[in-house]
A and B are shown apart, each in its own frame.
Chain A
């Protein structure tokens, strides 16, 4: 992995992963009527990693965060874990593709929006395929899409400000 050649890069991936795990656990403590209707603050760590270090380190951060986060919240190998893994990997893929092909077309906000909507749509499809074999779950699509857009905007905006502050501090 090209970006993980120096101790500095390894330290950064470790730090961004731990921030992601902390956000993942903190957000899981907030009670919600529907378990998968959340803003996805943990994705701040993925977006920042993608912008600072590139695609491969982001995948590392996402995988480590989902596994460690689920271990801490006691959700490892539960249906929720399956959703977190599939949603996390799909959104990481979509963000990596947009980051690679989009060039300067999108800021962290656009990348986060793509990731968040991919996340919710993937989760819904996985629920449809594995857990509820009924078209009926598709009525959730509008709600999930809207929550994905709100979450994606929020997370993207925070990531953008964070990257700006980091850049000001000489971290690029």
Chain B
């Protein structure tokens, strides 16, 4: 006999609730992953990784894009495209990015600057 409070509910309700809680938990985990600071910067031109830099070491790198030159600067654990040969400079206006999963994109140059983290460090940060 079911508890009077649960009267009228179905097994479908319980399955649905479990699935929704799982989705909520997943979105929390995804959120935490987004919060983790990045470790490396990968620059892709036309889908191919052409350059990898550490986020921890300051650097200034010139990248040949599909249309012209871009300069990617890394400083204080953040990365940004500081100048680019493109009409709208969306990539430059994106500004400084530091978290794992962040991207800076320059569409005319077919350039994607990705910031990646080390997954094991992210997990350590959660349990710690």
Query: Would you call B24 and A145 a contact (CB within 8 A)?
Result: yes
Closest-CB distance, B34 to chain A (whole angstroms): 7
Query: Would you call A142 and B17 a contact (CB within 8 A)?
Result: no
* Alpha-carbon separation in the docked complex, A142 to B32 (Å): 10
Query: Would you call A149 and B31 a contact (CB within 8 A)?
Result: no
The chain A residue sitting closest to B13, CB to CB, is A110
Task: Indicate whether A102 reaches chain B with its CB closer than 8 angstroms.
Answer: yes
The interface bits of chain B over 1-30 (1 if a CB of A lies within 8 angstroms of the residue's CB, else 0) are 000010111101100110011011001100
What residues of chain A lie closer than 8 Å to B34, measured between beta carbons?
A: 139
Which secondary structure dominates where chain A touches chain B?
A: helix
What residues of chain A lie closer than 8 Å to B16, measured between beta carbons?
A: 106, 110, 113-114
What residues of chain A lie closer than 8 Å to B21, measured between beta carbons?
A: 149
Query: Would you call A105 and B31 a contact (CB within 8 A)?
Result: no
Known: A113-B17, A113-B20. A139 touches B31 (CB 8 A): yes
| 7 A-B pairs (CB sep. < 8 Å) | A105-B10, A117-B20, A142-B24, A142-B27, A146-B24, A153-B17, A156-B13
**B residues engaging A (CB < 8 A)?**
5, 7-10, 12-13, 16-17, 20-21, 23-24, 27-28, 31, 34
**A residues engaging B (CB < 8 A)?**
102, 104-110, 113-114, 117, 139, 141-142, 145-146, 148-149, 152-153, 156-157, 160, 163-164
